[in-house]
Amino acid sequence: MKNIIITGASSGIGAALALILAENHNVLLLARNLAELKKLQAQNPRLRVEALDLTRENLGPHLHSIITAHFSQVDILINNAGKLVNKPVLEITRQDMEQVFATNVFGLIETCQVTIPLMKAGAHIVNIGSMGGFQGSVKFPGLSVYSSSKSAVAGFSECLAEELKEQKIAVNCLALGSAQTEMLGEAFPGYKAPVSAAEMAEFITDFSLNANRWINGKTIPVSLSTP
Ligand SMILES: NC(=O)c1ccc[n+]([C@@H]2O[C@H](COP(=O)([O-])OP(=O)(O)OC[C@H]3O[C@@H](n4cnc5c(N)ncnc54)[C@H](OP(=O)(O)O)[C@@H]3O)[C@@H](O)[C@H]2O)c1
C-alpha cells in the first residue's frame, strides 16, 4: 500500500484518479474546493482531503504542514492541478498569466520541493502536462499561455529527473490529449473527447504505480486524437 498525493483532485481527471487509487492505497487529495473533495471522501473514507490553493503566499511551509500531518513518507506525487485561460494573446492580462503560471508551474515546482525530502528510492513524481505543451504538436488559438505553461512543466520534469537520478526518484511528464472534463469544455467548447476522465485516470494510475521501473525523465504523449 503506497502513500500518494494528488493535486487538483476535486474534479475531472484528478477526482477519477482519487477513486481508483484509494481502492488499494493511502491517498491525500488537495484542491481549493473542499466540499467537492469531501464528496469523494464520502465515497471512500480511506481518502484524506485538504483544501489547498497552489497560488497562495508561503505555499511551501503551508503545504509541508499539510502533507506531514498525513504522511511521514510519500511514494507517489501526481501533480495534476491545472488552470486554463482561453484568450487570444492580445487580450491576455498579466493577471491571467500569473494565475496560469502560479498554478501550473510555480505551484507544481513548490509541491515537488516540499515532497521530495519525504521520498525515498523507488518514488515517482508524475507531472500532468498537455499535448498543447508538447514540442511539435498541433497548436490551437487562445491557448498560448496555458500551452506554454505546460511546455514549462515538461522541461522542468526532464530537468528534475536528472537532479534526482542518484536518489532513484523517477520524474515523468504525461502530455495528455483530450479527455472529457470541464477544462476541455473551456478549451474546445462543444468538442467531444474520445476518452472520459475515468479512462484517462485508468492510464495515469497504471503509469504512476508501475512505469518508473522503465521510464524516467520523459515527456510522454498520451493521446488518441487532435486535440
Ligand atoms: N481534460 C483534458 O482534455 C486535458 C488535456 C490535457 C491536459 N489536461 C490536464 O489534466 C489536468 C486535470 O485537468 P482536468 O481536465 O481534469 O480539469 P478540471 O476538471 O478543471 O480539474 C482541474 C483541477 O485543478 C484544480 N486547481 C485549479 N486551480 C487550482 C489551484 N490554484 N490550487 C489547487 N488546485 C487547483 C481544480 O480544483 P479547485 O478548483 O477545487 O482548486 C481541479 O481539481 C490539468 O493539469 C490539465 O491541464 C487535461
pLDDT tens sequence across 22-39: 999 999 999 999 999 999
Instruction: List the CATH code of the domain at 3-222.
Output: 3.40.50.720
Give the Cα separation of 51 and 208 in Å (integer): 23
Query: Rounded to the nearest 5°, which phi and psi values hold at 188?
Result: -135, 75
pTM of the model: 0.98
Note whether 128 and 79 are within 8 A (CB): yes
Measured CA distances, 108 to 24, 43, 225 (Å): 25, 27, 26
Which residue is catalytic, options 38, 146, 168, 191?
146
54: number of CA atoms within 13 Å, CB side? 28
Q: Can 191 be counted among the known catalytic residues?
A: no
- pLDDT tens-place string over residues 141-153: 999 999 999 999 9
Closest ligand 1 atom to residue 150 Cα is 47
Q: Is the CB of 14 under 6 A from ligand 1?
A: yes
Note whether 87 and 96 are within 8 A (CB): yes
- Taking the centre of ligand 1 as the mean of its atom positions, its distance from the CA of residue 8, in whole angstroms, is 5
Which residue is catalytic, options 150, 191, 192, 218?
150
